[in-house]
Amino acid sequence: MGELTGKTALVTGASRGIGRAVAERLAADGALVAVNYARDETAAKETVAAIEAAGGRAFAVRAELGADGAIGDLLAGLDAHGVTTLDVLVNNAGIGAPVPIEDVTPDLYDRVFAVNTRALFFLTRSLLPRIPDHGRIVNITTGATRIAFPEGIAYAMSKGAVDTFTLALAKHLGPRGITVNNVAPGIVDTDVNADWLRGNAEAEAYAASRAALGRVGRPDDIAAAVAFLASGDGRWVTGTTVDATGGSEL
């Protein structure tokens, strides 16, 4: 019996990277996991297949968060699988904007906030009736809200708004015993960073040097932090950020 046996979880943006690792970990802990994806159906099916091969339970739900109608699509996908109660919500879906202020166009700014902030806000609001007392909400933010990140200023701003959302929502939902927390990754070895990180010894050494623990983060490092907050052991932690950067820029 896993920690989350009998529970249902939704992980947004779960077809790859950190989201996939979180989905696999929550399923390994016993949860039935809804694997949300935006466009890559093949990757989502691969995530579900990997979970099932390991003895877990999962299903894929398509919804391109940030696009018109996406939240309705996601709710319909949950309904189609008979999911009316959601014990764990992990808001992981997001997009980057690795450019300084001079290169941030209004369209890019709006797109980043539409996905990283607005969609997260309204999806969570829409799901609140399905989250029972003592449920868990975990938002994936970024170490860039603690560490100056001018080369991705709009992205960092969008996640800073999520940090504030988490703080306020934790207070709001506290009477119901629902915890709301952030997990903030640093540099993680995912396909998002593959172009500049993988196979480049100099880049990897630089990335590792920024962390007090001396290596680049892995998706399962972040998944472990999420799993703690989703578990019974995380029952007395709310309204805060678990820094999962490996001690970057301490």
Q: How far is CA 27 from the centre of its chain?
A: 15
C-alpha to C-alpha distance for 50 and 108, rounded to whole angstroms: 34
Please state the φ and ψ torsions of residue 127, each to the nearest 5 degrees.
-90, -15
Question: Which pLDDT score is estimated for 83?
Answer: 97
Rounded CA gap, 178 and 132, in Å?
8
Q: Which of 138, 133, 24, 131 is nearest to 78 (CA)?
A: 131
What is the per-residue burial (b if ≥16 Cβ within 10 Å, else e) of 56-85? bebbbbbbbbbeeebbebbbebbeeeebee
Q: Residue 180 in contact with residue 173, Cβ under 8 Å?
A: yes
Per-residue pLDDT, 194: 65
Q: What angle do CA 181, 143, 4 make, to 5 degrees?
A: 35
pLDDT at 81: 97
Query: Helices 119-127 & 70-80, crossing angle to 10 degrees?
Result: 40
Per-residue tens of pLDDT for the chain, all 250 residues:
689 999 999 999 999 999 999 999 999 999 999 999 999 999 999 999 999 999 999 999 999 999 999 999 999 999 999 999 999 999 999 999 999 999 999 999 999 999 999 999 999 999 999 999 999 999 999 999 999 999 999 999 999 999 999 999 999 999 999 999 999 999 998 877 767 687 778 888 988 999 999 999 999 999 999 999 999 999 999 999 999 999 999 9
Rounding to the nearest 10 degrees, give the CA dihedral for residues 102, 163, 227, 57: -70
Q: What is the DSSP letter of 179?
A: E
Residue 75 · residue 126 · CB < 8 Å = yes
Q: How far apart are CA 96 and CA 149, in angstroms?
A: 12
Beta strands in the chain (DSSP E): 8-11, 32-37, 57-62, 88-91, 136-140, 179-185, 241-244
Domain 8-244 class, CATH top level: alpha beta
Active site residues: 155
Q: How much is the pLDDT for 196? A: 67
| DSSP calls for 136-153 | EEEEE--GGGTS--GGGH
